[in-house]
Amino acid sequence: MQVLVMYYSRTGNTKKLAEEIAKGVQQVEEVKCATKPVSEVTKDDFVNSDGIIAGSPVYFGAMAAEMKEVFDKFVGIRGEMEDKIGAAFATSGDPSGGKETTIFSHYPGNDDIRHDHRRRPFRCNRSLRCVVCRSA
């Protein structure tokens, strides 16, 4: 199993958090972890990874444009992303700072709703297996 930890970091803080997350991933037996800035992420990285963890600084409550560019660039392989696990993280210089809305903005196509987790305040994406209930 391979997990891709991809991030955009202008000042280095998001990169530091990505590296710490990757250390945790690497502690799991039989799991390889690739850690890359979004500028180096390829289509093969997406297709060959069983899980993708995306991290971005908070920019007005949304992910960085550089992160969104990666999701937009690979929208054509959406069908190949079935049954993959996805997660997101965000960094901010402010204790609250909109990290929650930034994390939600990482879920591409979040208007493509499959189920609603018993009315929780977020929705699953058809392309990624839900990390809450493990369903597709």
For residue range 49-97, what is the model confidence (pLDDT) as tens digits? 999 999 999 887 778 889 989 988 888 887 887 788 888 888 887 776 6
Average pLDDT of the residues in 112-132:
41
Q: Among 12-16, 77-81, 85-89, 99-103, whose mean pLDDT is lowest?
A: 99-103
- Confirm whether pTM is higher than 0.95: no
Does residue 38 or residue 117 have the better pLDDT? Answer: 38
Residue 18 above 90 pLDDT? yes
pLDDT of 113 strictly over 60? no
What are the chain's domains? 2-129 (3.40.50.360)
Within a 10 A sphere around the Cβ of 8, how many other Cβ atoms? Answer: 23
Is residue 115 over pLDDT 80? no
